[in-house]
Amino acid sequence: MNKQEPRKGLFAFVDDLFYKWIWRTCRTTVGIRCLAIATYLLPGGKIVLCRGLFFSLLFMVSGAFANPNFSLHDMDGKLHELSDYRGKWVVINYWATWCPPCLEELPELVDFHERHKDSDAVVLGINTEQITQNKLRKFIDENFISYPVFQDTAATANVAPVRGLPTTFLVAPDGRLVAKQTGAVTAAGIEEFMQNNK
């Protein structure tokens, strides 16, 4: 046992360095890929994954206020403005029906919305593809999507630049844009971020 302790300490040191490198200098999709590689290549890589996954999924952004002109009509024609949700966390998710990671995260977003919609947070889904309303409604029903879904048909639909799908933004209760992720998110990751940034 005693002979293994220095070895364990060295692995922990390497893990910690790798984790800090990802968090400080590689907060991009490259960082996520490096994190996944670490799970297999680094001794104790699963520790790195557990510690770093949340940070790799929701990266802090500058804290500037989200697009004040953000507004969209939902599938029933009701106008939604970002200011309508002041006082709550707002998860804004850009997605498409043809996007596998988008479909993977749908149950997570539904679960999160159902747990928080009556208290402290909501999810808004923005579909970015060219699709008829009838097809989109059918998809929403078949996948039990309970949060508001919009079609991206106006410049005011972008809370901030979107460079890939899925992209998720997190807007704080005071209207600041505080986090962004290109790639699938989880309910647990969003909740942890909210808890750590109250």
* pLDDT tens profile 3-39: 333 444 544 444 444 444 443 433 344 444 444 444 3
Highest-scoring range by mean pLDDT, 35-39, 42-46, 94-98, 159-163: 94-98
Q: For the domain covering 71-196, report its CATH number.
A: 3.40.30.10
Q: What is the pTM of this model?
A: 0.69
Q: Which residues neighbour 68 within 8 Å (Cβ) at sequence distance 6 or greater?
A: 82, 83, 175
Q: What is the pLDDT of residue 64?
A: 66
Q: Which residues neighbour 186 within 8 Å (Cβ) at sequence distance 6 or greater?
A: 57, 105, 108
> Can you read off the two tokens belonging to residue 19?
């984790």
The residue ranking higher by pLDDT, 68 or 176, is 176
Amino acid letter for position 115: R
d(CA 162, CA 164): 6
Domain boundaries, the chain: 4-57, 71-196
Segment 46-65 mean pLDDT: 45
Q: Which residues neighbour 91 within 8 Å (Cβ) at sequence distance 6 or greater?
A: 109, 112, 113, 121, 122, 123, 124, 168, 169, 170, 171, 190
- Res 68 pLDDT > 70: no
Q: What is the pLDDT of residue 163?
A: 86
Q: What is the pLDDT of residue 45?
A: 38
pLDDT tens digits along 78-131: 999 999 999 999 999 999 999 999 999 999 999 999 999 999 999 999 999 999
Per residue, the 3-state secondary structure of 66-92, as one string, reads CCCCCEEEECCCCEEEHHHHCCCEEEE
Which residues make beta-bridge pairs with 171? 90, 177
| Chain centroid offset of residue 5 CA | 38
- C-alpha neighbours within 13 Å on the C-beta side of residue 9: 6
Q: What is the pLDDT of residue 148?
A: 95
Q: What is the pLDDT of residue 152?
A: 80
**29-57 exposure pattern, b = at least 16 Cβ within 10 A, e = fewer:** eebbebbeebbeebebbebbbebbbbbbb
> Which alpha helices (DSSP H) does 94-151 contain, by range?
100-116, 133-142
